[in-house]
Structure 1
Amino acid sequence: MPPSQKTREWRISISEQEFLISTDLNSISHDFVNNAYGSDDMYWAKAMPTAILRNILSNSLVLGVYAVQFPSPKTAEEPSSPETPSPTLEDPSFYFSDEFQGTGAGAEKLEQVGFARFITDHVTVYYLTDVYVEPESRGKGLGKWLISCCREILDSKPHLMRAMLMASPGDGKEFYEENLGMRDMQEEAAEGHVLAMTRRRNQ
């Protein structure tokens, strides 16, 4: 991510576990990303040499998803501060509220559990790819939360010309239509507005 781009963070608590989404590249685990690339879940990707992977990530906007592990609780002799209720996935106001954006990891330990990557010029064009949550962390709503953070980024760009992604037909298409406001490009093609073209990598 270019130095001029400010790091963004979001936090949420699910079943007493706090999760963080951050665009800070320093928190990304290259091993986690490469293991994901090499898994059957990301059939479109493959594991990369370290230098190549570093180049890919440094030239992208990456949203890392982390389980937050806190230091040991304070002893009984130490004063404690009142607890602040945490937002939940059922509270839609959380997703776009600055009130719950984090301010940094501090003494926390972050365990990466997912990520998403934008290929972008950070102004006009955003291509979303590599959306992934590890199998052990699925079923908690993290994927939907991750996409809501992606949508917040897109909605904050006044000069955005086009956002794109590739999704599987059926459930994938419906998911991104509902949660990211995406539209099938074939519909635009049918209207005569655009023709989508592509070239796949050599097999």
Structure 2
Amino acid sequence: MAASQKPREWRRTISDQEYLISTDLNNISHDFVNNAYATDDMYWAKAMPAAILRNILSNSLVMGVYAVQPPFPPAKTAEEPSSPDTPSPTLEDPSFYFSNEFQGNGAGAEKLEQMGFARFVTDHVTVFYLTDVYVAPESRGKGLGKWLISCCREILDSKPHLMRAMLMASPGEGKQFYEKNLGMRDMQEEVAEGHVLPMTRNRNQ
């Protein structure tokens, strides 16, 4: 995300579990994104080399979906004896706080388990192309995808100089979903009106 863009976040509790949607790139698990890219659910994508993926994400507006876990207790002070006498090696290992599954800032910070994401290719002002909308299979059926799109709509509605928002939807249910929840319309309507002629080029051309 552009350095000038302040991260935004939304929170919701579903069945006693708190969830977070955040545009903070520091929370995104690159392994989660790449694993999603490698699934059949995201047939248009493929896993990327680490440097390429980092470039893609840093030049996009990425919205991560997370399950919020309780914070770690604060570390004991020097005056407080440890119990047991030998500290747990798991808690001593910084990678525990920054694993592929959980993101956080150490003791006293929330742990975030990534459940999904969506990505805007954008200049952050006039044009927003929504792509890579994904919720992990085990997290579906809870309304997280619909909530994610409502947050996307809130971002679009907050842009006074927006010229065009775009996405590629599947016919039928996909088209109806984005019409209802994101205010999108079929570009063929603009074609019929004589306003635009959509053109594209894929990777094989």
Q: TM-score range by the shorter chain?
A: 0.7 to 0.9
Q: Which ranges of structure 2 fall in alignment gaps of 5 or more residues?
A: 74-103
TM-score by length of 1: 0.83
Q: Which amino acid aligns with 2:31?
A: D
Q: Which amino acid aligns with 2:3?
A: P
Q: Which residue of 2 aligns with 1:176?
A: 178
Q: Distance in 2 between matches of 1:72 and 1:183?
A: 46
> CA contact under 8 A between 2:191 and 2:197: conserved in structure 1?
yes
Q: Distance in 1 between matches of 2:196 and 2:16?
A: 47
Q: Which amino acid aligns with 2:154?
A: E
Q: Which residue of 2 aligns with 1:124?
A: 126
Q: Which residue of 2 aligns with 1:83?
A: none
> CA contact under 8 A between 2:135 and 2:144: conserved in structure 1?
yes
> CA contact under 8 A between 2:190 and 2:196: conserved in structure 1?
yes
Q: Distance in 1 between matches of 2:72 and 2:30?
A: 27
Q: Which residue of 1 aligns with 2:58?
A: 58
Map 1:81-96 onto structure 2 (within 5 A): none
The CA deviation at 1:200 is: 1.1
Q: Which residue of 2 aligns with 1:37?
A: 37
Q: Which ranges of structure 1 fall in alignment gaps of 5 or more residues?
A: 74-103
Q: Distance in 1 between matches of 2:72 and 2:160?
A: 43
Structure 1 vs Structure 2 CA RMSD: 1.7
Size of the alignment, in residue pairs? 174
Match among 154, 157, 162 for residue 155 of structure 1? 157
The CA deviation at 1:43 is: 0.3
TM-score by length of 2: 0.82
The CA deviation at 1:72 is: 6.4
Map 1:1-203 onto structure 2 (within 5 A): 1-71=1-71, 107-202=109-204
Q: Distance in 2 between matches of 1:127 and 1:201?
A: 17
The CA deviation at 1:71 is: 3.0
Q: Distance in 2 between matches of 1:147 and 1:60?
A: 16
The CA deviation at 1:3 is: 1.1
Q: Distance in 2 between matches of 1:38 and 1:72?
A: 32
> CA contact under 8 A between 2:169 and 2:175: conserved in structure 1?
yes
Which stretches of structure 1, 4 residues or more, deviate above 6 A after TM superposition?
A: none
Aligned to 2:19, the other structure's residue is in SS state strand
Q: Which amino acid aligns with 2:45?
A: A
Q: Distance in 2 between matches of 1:4 and 1:202?
A: 35
